[in-house]
Structure 1
Amino acid sequence: MSLSAYELLQHIKDESVYLIEHSKGISFDDFLNDPTLIRAYSRSLEIIGEATKKIPSDFRNRYPDIEWRGMAGLRDKLIHDYFGIDYDLVWDVIQNKIPKLKLQLDVLFEDFK
């Protein structure tokens, strides 16, 4: 069963909210020293990337300001380079890209109303 663009976007938003909420008050060192956080954050980014890849390109093209390609590319990097995850990159994405993505998704969801 394939999911609709709306359902895929909801998954992306849910994971974005999770990352924002669960990284509050966490330092980069805390992140690096907690294998559970590393796995959880990496998994959330994988889900975001996988859902992004499944959103039809014509839909993604209507929202060019969202970094669709970057999200999908990060997922590929996490999946294929699992013995060499760039933790600086993961942390940067969580701290700087995900909050922006969440705001963009809030606007996008307004279009569905």
Structure 2
Amino acid sequence: MFEDYVSDIKTKRATERDLEIIGEAVNRIFKKDKNFKLENAQKIIGTRNRIIHGYDMISDDLIWSIVINHLPKLKKEVEFLLNK
């Protein structure tokens, strides 16, 4: 699957864009509520900033790792918060 990701520029850009949107959403939440509990919130915001401001520093390995290792955990955390 990683090879498919790396070879498909549209998927790569769409994935990066979605991570930007997630990071911006977390950033906006924290501007309104500094006490909002979300694990890795600063890393999420930092990833957004890195993608937006440092395209030459974004590796396929990094994005793939986020998608595979971190997004499933974030999804569960958000679902839990929504169902509270």
2:15 aligned with 1:30, yes or no?
no
Aligned length: 84
2:53 aligned with 1:80, yes or no?
yes
Unaligned runs of 5+ in 1: 1-26
Specify the alignment match of 1:105 in structure 2.
78
2:35 aligned with 1:56, yes or no?
no
Specify the alignment match of 1:19 in structure 2.
none
Kept after mapping to 1: 8 A contact 2:24/2:45 = yes
Specify the alignment match of 1:16 in structure 2.
none
Instruction: For 2:12, give the aligned amino acid.
Output: I
Specify the alignment match of 2:14 in structure 1.
40
Greater than 2 Å deviation, 4+ residue runs? 56-62
Using the alignment, how far apart are the partners of 2:77 and 2:34 within structure 1?
13
Q: Residues 60 and 31 of structure 1: is their aligned pair in 2 closer, same or farther, counting only changes over 3 Å?
A: farther
Kept after mapping to 1: 8 A contact 2:23/2:45 = yes
* Structure with more helix by fraction: 2
Whose relative contact order is higher, 1 or 2, with alpha carbons under 8 Å and at least 6 apart? 1
Kept after mapping to 2: 8 A contact 1:60/1:68 = no
TM-score by length of structure 1 reads: 0.68
